[in-house]
Structure 1
């Protein structure tokens, strides 16, 4: 089958399996934000000097996990957008109406997730990106890759320019008037990311409080954060989604490439991306985890290499799915991927209940490395419950609700029992 040929709508086990890995992987990226004050997400020294194992965990996360799992989720969102649009067209429904209805309800789900469950929501951002993605649906894989470039340039250029200005201000390289204007930005950045941030204790107290106090904080002090996140991350997310659409049209995500080609891409991406990511991790360590260094390394300088390693992860996962994984493993991963929306939201509910004060109250008391035990537990739950659920029902619970709302009609849920 030639590349860039339209993919017929339907279940693609390879795409679902990669999505299953992505929804598990994004927990490995987010677990610190669930369990520790936000400065600890980027800074292993926030809250005090890190142990050797916690530092090693942060180093591994920065190089191999952080941004890569979100990148994988974003790539797959772009690919899935094409599938949904094509499915609507083949079913005789209005593709634009079907797509924009889905994005409208996804935005509402995202806002509910943010204000009522967890502040790290990505669904609202994805819904806003989805409003633009429809415009690119008919482009070739090559054109999609070309269009991703200006989005990445803006996504890298904006934080990189701010990082450069802050670095110059720290070094005394700006005129006095300009330096004075940067002091508030420096103060806020140190509060959010620095090694001796004053917000660490405040966040611990907040998230060990009641559900009402947490929601009240989000709906007041954090009320505008969803729009802020869109302004900050839309450019990178759009670039990744366009790449995902291109990789889907080029047949990479459908599993149609030869095994040798997946192997070649995985090796090349890892070999190119890992050395600069290691150097950026060392740069942050040698700075003493300075807030400006963390900002520059995490939100600007790492983006090209994060993106490359994201593609490398997808190539490696596809290689393992095609050459190593058993049918049972593929089916379990694919089921977790088909229920990615439900698994993502349920993960937030479970993790906030474990760590926040209205649940078990473990917030701030578990070390960075030990948090992966909670990841392993949640991954096991996803794999154990997704396939049995889908053996009985057409959709995951939240997928069913999203689909019913988007179509304006209750969708069939339970599968008919097999004829004896």
Structure 2
């Protein structure tokens, strides 16, 4: 099945935003990024930090989520056209994603998303054969319900606050100065809350799939409606979607200005998702006119190698910030990290474009394809349609003219 260029380009855009957001974790830690008072930021860096929190963080991962749902349906359609067992292929794919994620989080970095996407794939299996209208209705219902319930604020005890504070300080020292093995041990064995907070574990295992499901389902619905295949004919819808940009930014800005409470968390989540849809629409408008430009070709190339580029971002950034590399953890600054994100992504655009001139897919994409299709060359093993015996006899007895 032919690739959808706009979808590949949007996947590249999402990876750019994810990189900028993840740079908060790379240089401050997964817990330290939201406790920025532990780090001495200049006024310029403080402004850059708020910019990333409002404009970037939480609004590019939903784009990737939307595209995951879209690509899932396109994969299902491709597998069905080859007359193979769809769910068997998908189960293998999700398991391999989980394996990639576990290896990624264990040996490289704690901010992995691949494990969750693999697990989420199993949840989405119940929706792959639903109609577009059904997917949209379920997406809206889950979006309204999860936000109407609110998220509340978990009140940490004094002991938990002290433990978190101690953990952030210790992480800052270990990640900045220690060896790979010491950093790996700290990451995998000294998490301050996950293993002890039963509420948090319950939230992740039960509620998280429902909180993230709307964008998955909307992406699946878009694929069933063949959206983004003819961008020049869909511009009016893109223009409507682009109106969500200022709304999303406004809601996220208000949520950050409010004192942390249930309302601020709701506004933040709603604003983040609306902003992500606005980004998709605005980018699609630009794509119609600029799809042949070098910049958009770069986005497309990165998107085609999304899995490999995602892991490479981790390799590069941990080498820059961690002690076994340049050891800049906590000291690099937000303005510099934005510049670094631009440089890394630009390099990925160039390298991905050059790579695709000689190869059709990236190394990790090839492994994923091999496992999904259970074949050494990565191709789908087509099954011949079963020919009933009665029809076979009828054909054999038909006179040849």
Same fold (TM over 0.5): yes
Shift of 1:331: 2.7
C-alpha spacing 1:140/1:331, structure 2 compared with 1 (3 Å): same
Aligned to 1:169: none
Q: TM-score, normalised by structure 1?
A: 0.81
Instruction: Indicate which of 187, 190, 199 corresponds to 2:167.
Output: 199
**CA displacement, residues 40-71 of structure 1 (integer Å, 9 cap, x when unaligned):** 423443324x3221222122222211110111
**1:97 matched to 2:63:** no
Give the CA RMSD over aligned residues.
2.6
- Report matched runs for 1:100-139 at 5 Å: 100-139=91-130
**1:34 matched to 2:26:** yes
Aligned to 2:63: 72
Q: Is the 8 A contact 1:39 1:46 kept in 2?
A: no
- Taking the aligned partners of 2:234 and 2:375, their CA distance within structure 1 comes to 42
- Taking the aligned partners of 1:226 and 1:390, their CA distance within structure 2 comes to 41
C-alpha spacing 1:282/1:219, structure 2 compared with 1 (3 Å): closer
SS of residue in 1 equivalent to 2:287: helix
- Taking the aligned partners of 2:211 and 2:310, their CA distance within structure 1 comes to 21
- Taking the aligned partners of 1:37 and 1:395, their CA distance within structure 2 comes to 32
Which moves more between the two structures, 219-228 or 121-130?
A: 219-228
SS of residue in 2 equivalent to 1:371: helix
Which ranges of structure 2 fall in alignment gaps of 5 or more residues? 380-401
Larger Rg: 2
SS of residue in 1 equivalent to 2:308: helix
Aligned to 1:177: none
- Taking the aligned partners of 1:75 and 1:191, their CA distance within structure 2 comes to 37
Instruction: Indicate which of 172, 190, 215 corresponds to 2:184.
Output: 215
Q: Is the 8 A contact 2:308 2:364 kept in 1?
A: yes
Count of matched residue positions in the alignment of Structure 1 and Structure 2: 371
Q: Is the 8 A contact 1:154 1:235 kept in 2?
A: no
Aligned to 1:86: 77
Shift of 1:189: 6.0
Aligned to 2:364: 398
Q: Is the 8 A contact 1:148 1:238 kept in 2?
A: yes
C-alpha spacing 1:111/1:151, structure 2 compared with 1 (3 Å): farther
**1:151 matched to 2:127:** no
Shift of 1:137: 1.5
Shift of 1:349: 1.1
**CA displacement, residues 299-342 of structure 1 (integer Å, 9 cap, x when unaligned):** 54311121111100000011111123434433322111010010
C-alpha spacing 1:230/1:363, structure 2 compared with 1 (3 Å): farther
Shift of 1:406: 2.5
Aligned to 1:388: 354
Q: TM-score, normalised by structure 2?
A: 0.84
Aligned to 2:397: none
C-alpha spacing 1:205/1:73, structure 2 compared with 1 (3 Å): same
**CA displacement, residues 355-408 of structure 1 (integer Å, 9 cap, x when unaligned):** 111111111111122111220121111101112211211210110111112333
- Taking the aligned partners of 1:294 and 1:377, their CA distance within structure 2 comes to 37
Instruction: Indicate which of 316, 323, 335 corresponds to 1:350.
Output: 316
- Report matched runs for 1:12-411 at 5 Å: 12-48=4-40, 50-153=41-144, 155-156=146-147, 160-163=150-153, 166=154, 182=155, 184=157, 188=160, 192=164, 197-208=165-176, 209-222=178-191, 229-231=204-206, 233-256=208-231, 257-266=233-242, 268-283=243-258, 287=259, 293=260, 297=264, 299-411=265-377
- Taking the aligned partners of 2:162 and 2:2, their CA distance within structure 1 comes to 49
Which moves more between the two structures, 31-40 or 382-391?
A: 31-40
Shift of 1:296: 6.5
Which ranges of structure 1 fall in alignment gaps of 5 or more residues? 1-8, 167-181, 288-292, 414-420
Shift of 1:156: 3.7
Q: Is the 8 A contact 2:290 2:296 kept in 1?
A: no
Shift of 1:19: 0.5
